[in-house]
C-alpha cells in the first residue's frame, strides 16, 4: 500500500522550497568554540550578521550562510570565546600611562631615579610628570621613595608618580610647593602625609586622601589629550581581547571623552560607567533625564571607597599589620558618609560598587549593604564589592547569602603573593579566596584594575588557575586550595561580568541573538599545560560584529 502525502505535508514542502534563502552572514568564524552557554558549551563555528550572532553550531550549519562578501576567520583548532570583559578599569588613566614614564619594573631605587632623569630630559620646563606605577616591593629591602631621590634630576618639572595600586604616590619638591604641602600642613582625614621623624618635613610620600592637594594642583588635561588617551587605551584593550569594560571612578570630563568617541564612531569598546559615589545625585539626574544609555555606553551606577591598599598599608583590618604594628590601615572615607551615599544612590535605583580590600573594610561594607537592602526592600540591586581581596570565612558566607557581587582581580594574586605574607602573617590565607566564594555560590567576576595591573585577561586566567607568583617561588600555587578551573575563570571574564552590569541577556555567551563580541586565541587553552596559559596571544577581537583587532600573520 502506497501512503500518499497529506495536503498539509505537500504545502509545507512547497513553502520550504519556495521560501527565499537566508541572507548571507557578514562574518563566519571557525575554531574550537567555548560558548559559555551551559546548554551547548561547545561548537565548531559561529555566524554573525550586523552586531548579532545568528548561528552557532557545526561548520556545516554556518557554511550555507557564506556569501560573496562574507568575511571568514578560520582559527583552526584554537580557541574561540565570548569577548572578554573587564570588571574594573581606570580607562583613561591607562591610556595616559601608555605614554608616560614607566617605573613598574624598576628593580632598584637607582633605576627608579634613572628612568625619571631620562624622561624629564625630554619634557618641557614646567610640564608635570605623572603616572609611573612604581612598586617598592621590587627593590632590595623595599624602601619607600622620597623626594630627595629625584629632586636633583627633575629641577624644572613638578613630579608626582604613583605606586602601582594608586593609593600612594611620591612628589618632588616642586610638586609639593605647587600643592601647598609643607611641614605646617595638617594631616588629612582618610590619608597620610609621611614626614621625616626628626624634622617633620614631608618626605614627598603621600597616601590615599593626602594625595588630593597634589592632584588639585595639576593642570587638567585638555579634551584633545583626553581623546588621545582614550584612543590609546581602546586600541591596547582590544589587542588583549577585551571587548567591554566597567570604567570605575570615571570623572565627568572622562565621561565626556567616552561620549565624544561614541558619537564620532571611534569608541570600539562597550563601556559601563561608574562615576564617584559622592556625586550620586548628578548620575541619578542624568539617568532620569536622558536614560542610562545603550549597549555601547551605559551610565551604570556609582563607585566609592572604604579603605586603601595592602601595598600601601592602608587596607583596613581588624588587627595591626604584621610588619607595621602601628597601624590597622585607613578608613579612607568616613563610614557614615559611605552609608548615607549608598542609601541615597540605592533609593535612586543606581547600582553601587564600593572598593574594599581589608577584612574589616569588607565586614563594615557588608553591614551597610545589608542595612540599606533591608530598609529599602527587595529588588535586583546587585551591590558590588570591588577587590574583596581579604575575606574571613564569615564574610565569604555573607557575600553569598546577600547576593553581593565579588568583583575581583586575579593578577594581584601573583603580584601581591610575593610579599603579602609579611604584611599579614597567618591571616594571609584569607587572601583572594576564589574557590571559597564559588563553592558558596557567590557571584564572582574578574577584571584587571588597569592601570594598577595589566589589562590582559589571559594573565588573569593564568593567575586564577595556577596562582604561581611572579617570583617563581610558588610553583604549586600561592594558597593553592583557592585555585579555580579554567572553565570557571573563563566564565568570570565573560558571562559573570555580563551579569555584573545587568547585560547577561545580550552578552557574555556565544548563542543566537546575543551581541557578536568574540575573541580568537592563538592556542586552545584546554589543550596546553596551565603554566603555559600566560604566553598565549590574541589573534582577533570582534566587537559588535566588527574586527577591532587582528594580529599580523
For residue 417, what is its C-alpha cell? 603573593
Distances (CA, A) of 33 to 58, 81, 94, 296: 10, 6, 31, 24
Q: Note the pLDDT of residue 21.
A: 60
Regarding beta strands 351-356 and 384-387, do their DSSP bridges make them parallel or antiparallel, or are they unpaired? parallel
Q: Which of the four pLDDT bands, split at 50, 70 and 90, describes residue 553? A: confident
* Across 499-510, average pLDDT: 97
Q: Note the pLDDT of residue 165.
A: 81
CATH number of 92-217: 3.10.310.70
Q: Note the pLDDT of residue 104.
A: 86
Q: Note the pLDDT of residue 17.
A: 43
Q: What is the pLDDT of residues 208-228, one digit of tens each?
A: 899 999 989 999 899 999 999
Regarding beta strands 443-446 and 518-521, do their DSSP bridges make them parallel or antiparallel, or are they unpaired? unpaired
How far, in Å, CA of 534 to CA of 403, rounded? 32
Please state the domain extents for the chain: 22-82+510-553, 92-217
For residue 242, what is its C-alpha cell? 577585551
Q: Note the pLDDT of residue 22.
A: 79
Q: Which candidate, 370, 383, 484, 365, places its Cα nearest to that of 432?
A: 484
pLDDT of residue 489 exceeding 80: yes
* Across 518-523, average pLDDT: 98
Averaged confidence pLDDT in the chain? 94
How far, in Å, CA of 46 to CA of 513, rounded? 12
Regarding beta strands 27-34 and 42-49, do their DSSP bridges make them parallel or antiparallel, or are they unpaired? antiparallel
pLDDT of residue 287 exceeding 80: yes
pLDDT of residue 305 exceeding 50: yes
pLDDT of residue 6 exceeding 70: no
- Considering the four listed CATH numbers 1.20.58.340, 3.40.50.300, 2.30.40.10, 3.40.50.150, the one that applies to the domain covering 22-82+510-553 is 2.30.40.10
**Could you tell me if 214 and 181 are in contact, meaning their C-beta atoms sit under 8 angstroms apart?**
yes
In degrees, rounded to 5, the angle at the alpha carbon of residue 157 between the alpha carbons of residues 156 and 158 is 135
**Could you tell me if 306 and 333 are in contact, meaning their C-beta atoms sit under 8 angstroms apart?**
yes
22-82+510-553 and 92-217: identical CATH topology = no
pLDDT of residue 385 exceeding 70: yes
Q: Note the pLDDT of residue 12.
A: 42
H or E stretch at 376: helix 359-376
Instruction: Compute the CA torsion angle 463, 467, 473, 476 (nearest 10 deg).
Output: -130
Q: What is the pLDDT of residues 222-251, one digit of tens each?
A: 999 999 999 999 999 999 999 999 999 999
Q: What is the pLDDT of residues 26-42, one digit of tens each?
A: 999 999 999 999 999 99
In degrees, rounded to 5, the angle at the alpha carbon of residue 272 between the alpha carbons of residues 338 and 444 is 70
Q: Note the pLDDT of residue 8.
A: 47
Which residue in the block uniquely carries the three cell numbers 637607582? 110
Q: Which residue has the higher pLDDT, 187 or 7?
A: 187
From start to end of 189-315, where are the E strands? 191-195, 202-208, 242-248, 270-274, 297-299, 301-305
Q: How far is CA 359 from the centre of its chain?
A: 21
* Across 179-186, average pLDDT: 93
pLDDT of residue 14 exceeding 60: no
Say if residue 103 is exposed, middle or buried (CB neighbours under 10 Å; 0-12, 13-18, 19+).
Answer: buried
**Could you tell me if 114 and 105 are in contact, meaning their C-beta atoms sit under 8 angstroms apart?**
no
Q: Which candidate, 414, 422, 524, 499, places its Cα nearest to that of 462?
A: 414
H or E stretch at 520: strand 518-521
Distances (CA, A) of 389 to 214, 237, 360, 462: 28, 24, 11, 18
- For residue 47, the tally of other CB atoms under 10 A from its CB is 26
DSSP state of 450: B
* Across 341-349, average pLDDT: 98
Q: What is the pLDDT of residues 44-100, one digit of tens each?
A: 999 999 999 999 999 998 999 999 999 999 999 999 999 999 999 999 999 999 999
Q: What is the pLDDT of residues 151-164, one digit of tens each?
A: 999 999 999 999 98
Q: Note the pLDDT of residue 87.
A: 98
Amino acid at each position: 500500500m502506497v501512503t500518499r502525502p497529506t495536503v498539509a505535508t505537500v504545502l509545507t514542502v512547497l513553502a520550504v522550497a519556495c521560501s527565499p534563502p537566508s541572507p548571507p552572514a557578514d562574518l563566519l568564524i571557525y575554531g574550537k568554540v567555548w560558548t559559555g552557554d551551559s546548554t551547548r558549551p561547545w561548537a565548531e563555528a559561529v555566524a554573525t550578521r550586523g552586531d548579532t550572532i545568528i548561528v552557532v553550531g557545526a561548520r556545516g550549519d554556518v557554511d550555507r550562510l557564506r556569501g560573496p562578501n562574507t568575511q571568514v576567520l578560520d582559527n583552526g583548532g584554537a580557541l574561540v570565546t565570548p569577548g572578554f570583559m573587564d570588571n574594573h578599569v581606570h580607562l583613561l588613566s591607562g591610556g595616559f600611562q601608555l605614554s608616560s614614564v614607566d617605573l613598574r619594573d624598576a628593580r632598584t631605587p637607582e633605576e627608579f631615579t634613572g628612568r625619571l632623569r631620562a624622561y624629564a630630559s625630554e619634557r618641557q620646563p614646567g610640564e608635570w610628570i605623572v603616572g609611573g606605577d612604581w612598586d617598592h616591593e621590587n627593590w632590595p629591602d623595599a624602601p619607600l621613595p622620597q623626594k630627595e631621590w629625584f629632586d636633583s634630576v627633575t629641577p624644572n618639572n613638578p613630579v608626582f608618580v604613583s605606586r602601582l595600586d594608586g593609593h600612594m604616590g611620591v612628589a618632588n619638591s616642586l610638586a609639593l610647593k605647587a600643592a601647598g604641602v609643607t611641614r605646617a600642613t595638617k594631616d588629612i582625614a582618610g590619608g597620610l602625609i609621611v614626614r621625616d621623624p626628626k624634622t617633620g618635613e614631608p618626605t614627598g610620600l603621600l597616601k590615599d586622601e593626602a594625595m588630593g592637594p597634589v592632584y588639585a594642583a595639576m593642570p587638567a588635561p585638555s579634551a584633545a589629550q583626553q581623546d588621545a588617551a582614550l584612543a590609546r587605551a581602546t586600541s591596547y584593550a582590544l589587542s588583549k581581547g577585551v571587548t567591554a569594560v566597567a570604567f570605575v571612578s570615571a570623572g565627568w570630563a572622562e565621561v565626556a571623552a567616552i561620549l565624544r568617541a561614541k558619537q564620532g564612531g571611534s569608541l570600539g569598546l562597550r563601556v559601563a560607567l561608574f562615576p564617584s559615589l559622592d556625586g550620586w545625585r548628578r548620575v541619578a539626574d542624568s539617568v532620569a533625564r536622558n536614560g542610562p544609555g545603550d549597549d555601547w555606553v551605559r551610565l551604570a551606577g556609582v563607585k566609592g571607597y572604604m579603605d586603601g591598599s595592602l601595598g600601601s598599608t592602608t587596607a583596613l583590618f581588624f588587627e595591626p599589620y604584621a610588619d607595621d604594628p602601628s597601624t590597622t590601615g585607613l578608613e579612607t572615607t568616613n563610614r557614615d558618609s559611605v552609608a548615607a551615599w549608598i542609601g541615597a544612590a540605592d533609593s535612586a535605583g543606581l547600582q553601587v560598587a564600593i572598593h574594599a580590600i581589608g577584612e574589616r573594610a569588607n565586614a563594615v561594607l557588608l553591614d551597610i549593604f545589608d542595612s540599606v537592602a533591608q530598609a529599602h526592600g527587595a529588588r535586583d540591586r546587585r551591590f558590588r564589592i570591588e577587590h574583596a581581596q581579604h575575606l574571613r570565612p564569615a564574610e565569604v558566607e555573607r557575600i553569598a547569602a546577600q547576593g553581593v557581587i565579588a568583583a575581583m582581580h586575579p593578577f594581584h594574586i601573583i603580584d601581591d603573593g610575593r610579599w603579602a605574607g609579611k604584611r599579614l602573617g597567618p591571616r594571609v590565607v584569607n587572601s583572594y579566596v576564589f574557590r571559597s566564594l564559588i563553592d558558596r555560590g557567590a557571584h564572582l567576576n574578574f577584571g584587571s584594575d588597569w592601570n594598577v595591573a595589566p589589562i590582559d585577561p589571559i594573565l588573569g586566567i593564568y593567575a586564577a588557575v595556577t596562582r604561581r607568583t611572579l617570583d617563581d617561588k610558588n610553583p604549586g600555587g600561592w594558597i593553592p586550595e583557592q585555585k579555580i578551573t579554567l572553565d570557571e575563570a573563563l566564565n568570570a571574564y565573560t558571562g559573570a561580568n555580563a551579569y555584573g552590569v545587568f547585560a547577561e541577556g545580550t552578552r557574555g555567551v556565544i548563542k543566537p541573538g546575543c551581541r557578536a563580541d568574540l575573541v580568537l586565541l592563538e592556542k586552545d587553552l584546554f589543550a596546553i599545560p596551565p603554566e603555559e596559559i600566560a604566553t598565549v596571544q590574541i589573534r582577533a577581537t570582534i566587537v559588535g560584529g566588527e574586527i577591532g583587532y587582528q594580529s599580523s600573520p
